[in-house]
Structure 1
Amino acid sequence: MSQFHPVSINDIQAAQQRLSGIAHHTPVLTSRIVNDRTQSQVFFKCENFQRTGAFKFRGAYNALAQLSPAQKQQGVLTFSSGNHGQAIALAGQLLHIPTTIVMPDDAPGVKQTATRSYGAEVILYNRQQTNREELAHNLASDRHLTLIPPYDHPHVIAGQGTTALELVQEVGELDLLLVCCGGGGLIAGCAIAAKALFPNLRVIGVEPTLADDATRSFYTKTLQTVTNSDTIADGARTPSLGQITFPLVLQYVDDMVTVSEAAIIRTMFFLWERLKIVVEPTGVLAAAAILENVVTAPGMKIGVIISGGNVDLTQIAKLFTE
């Protein structure tokens, strides 16, 4: 496996076969209001309707399904702010694999509750005091568990890439694909899949301005980090791109942009109100880029990945009244 080609379109197509009948084939929504507002044709790939409420189930199941019988019996461990943890927990339940999830103690309550409901053991830590990767590696070593990281893993990336594969299979060639970016697993997989089918398609990643490590990494070509960002887009609080995802982002992604917290909130409100879909802050990053004119592409056919819909309604309600 080459360092710079750990994931190919063949891996993503194989993941699609593995996920067939297990992951949901999520809907693609369009909106006349959005098309008028952007002067383009926009297709929203709604992973908020995926199992566990986010795209993460694709990569989690694809990774766990390929473990050896011995690894499956022993169990797996991961670290996650919520969506990947839920995904690993459900995939483990479906494949009869014991799961342990290391989560920050301030992760949305709805995500903690859901993760436990799938049968996982949840271990909470303080984000300000603990390095989650270190904690996870130590626990995995002590308990002889296989560590499945949330994004920096070839099988996880290949699973996430099925999101874009499904989208272009359904709507055909796109001019532009907008994808939210945290640790880079989704955007790396989606860019590989989309460009394998349509090489001229441009892929743009979108981050919160308060967690712009991937954007800075993209422009400096040097891995940049962010520490304990307080963006409301909790899925994008990852400290940096990964050792696998960073080279893939540099190779396959055409540009990176950021959106403000206010833009995230306005976009959430717009999508809730106009498209009638429940989306979480991280889930609207790509949509915010086009709806807030950070990216403009008049006359173009644009794919937008809505990455998830796991919101803590008690917290979100406060944002709408501020």
Structure 2
Amino acid sequence: MYPLIHQTPLITSETTNRIVGKKVYFKMENQQKTGAFKIRGALNKMMQLPENLRRQGVITASAGNHAQGVAYAAKRSNIKATIYMPKHTPINKINATKAYGAEVVLTGVNFDEAYKASLVEQKSTGKIYIHPFDDYDVMAGQGTIALEFLNEVKDLDTIIVPVGGGGLISGIAVAAKSINPTIKVIGVQSSYASPIFRAFHNIQQTKSNVGTTIAEGIAVQNPGQKTLPIIEKFVDDIVTVSDSEIAGSILYMLERNKTLVEGAGAAAIAALFSYSQQIRSKHCGIIVSGGNIDLQQMTSIQNLAQNHYVQTG
């Protein structure tokens, strides 16, 4: 996939290390092309398609970052892409997707409704579906993050990963444990959208367990059929964080590390602070998965963060 994607930088922070009592490495996928890790999986999937299937065009559904990844990969491959997105997707993500040349269809109040609508068109048109997470080629593309991470930090013992449908953590867990079987992989979901947390811990599923969250990029209603068995086999734990904890982490990264992170991208950071005592690690990796935040959210993020601002003094 190189040079069509960046090998994203790692950053460290002595302040963060002091607060949590461990050496922390941030993998900055918010600095990836299209502003998020999703380009990796989308591009890897696209590159597997033979020419006759490319001519049919591709279709997908996304809350934003996967949309941009598919649109970018399709543009570079001269493939027509159609993207279904929820109506309430941040406008910056919609505009960015259109800018790459994709056709955008806004429908539904969440990812799952947009996904169902996209399947209807896929069946009627025969376009190739590029699933945002429940596809082995997509998972493998996301797993390249772990390869880069462990190549740079040989003694990494833990990786904390944001989780929506599970494609990112599946790829990372398989790749990381193929290199170091003893490494711990911990997933993080929003407490307002936690189907994989519930499945992992055998908590009864309910239809009301997905609500509105500032981490809209990981607000998925159901675990992937392909990702969940991988998670159950290779992932060590799944935890949840609140919107106020996520908001506090967004402000922390902005003020201390001078970098802008979206809600989903801050989930793993929030878990680092909230569970630092429980996470037994000396060298801990954090996946900062994306930076495509709607700046109009910043006032509400500041209000949410009041009770969970990370004190650095």
TM-score, normalised to structure 2, is: 0.93
CA-to-aligned-CA distance 1:126-164 (integer Å, 9 cap, x gap): 227983332111101222210111000010000001111
Q: Aligned to 1:110, which of 92, 117, 135?
A: 92
Counterpart for residue 8 of structure 1: none
Distance 1:53 1:320, change over 3 A: same
Q: CA deviation at 1:174?
A: 1.4
1:101–1:121 contact (8 Å) kept in structure 2: yes
CA distance in 1, matches of 2:186, 2:287: 11
1:214–1:224 contact (8 Å) kept in structure 2: no
Is 1:310 paired with 2:287? no
Q: Report SS of the residue matched to 2:18.
A: helix
Aligned-residue CA RMSD in angstroms?
1.8
Q: CA deviation at 1:297?
A: 3.6
Is 1:239 paired with 2:188? no
Is 1:258 paired with 2:234? no
Structure 1 stretches (4+) deviating beyond 6 angstroms? 221-225
Q: CA deviation at 1:171?
A: 1.1
Q: CA deviation at 1:292?
A: 2.5
Letter in 1 for 2:218: A
Counterpart for residue 128 of structure 2: 146
Q: Aligned to 2:6, which of 7, 18, 24?
A: 24
Letter in 1 for 2:87: D
Alignment of 1:168-317 (within 5 A): 168-220=150-202, 228-293=210-275, 296-297=278-279, 300-317=282-299
CA distance in 2, matches of 1:39, 1:92: 44
Letter in 2 for 1:61: L
1:224–1:240 contact (8 Å) kept in structure 2: no
Letter in 2 for 1:315: Q
**Which deviates more from structure 2 when the two are superposed, residues 228-237 or residues 120-129?**
120-129
1:26–1:45 contact (8 Å) kept in structure 2: yes
Q: Report SS of the residue matched to 1:262.
A: helix
CA distance in 1, matches of 2:130, 2:79: 12
Q: Aligned to 1:159, which of 141, 153, 162?
A: 141
Counterpart for residue 38 of structure 1: 20
Q: CA deviation at 1:315?
A: 1.8
Counterpart for residue 4 of structure 1: none
Q: CA deviation at 1:221?
A: 8.4
Counterpart for residue 42 of structure 2: 60
Distance 1:228 1:127, change over 3 A: farther
Q: Report SS of the residue matched to 2:97.
A: helix
Residue ranges of structure 2 left out of the alignment (5+ in a row): 305-313
CA distance in 2, matches of 1:164, 1:26: 11
CA distance in 2, matches of 1:151, 1:128: 16
CA-to-aligned-CA distance 1:95-146 (integer Å, 9 cap, x gap): 1110000001100000000000000000010227983332111101222210
Counterpart for residue 119 of structure 2: 137
Number of residues paired by the alignment? 304
CA distance in 1, matches of 2:133, 2:119: 15
Letter in 2 for 1:185: G
Q: CA deviation at 1:222?
A: 8.0
Residue ranges of structure 1 left out of the alignment (5+ in a row): 1-18
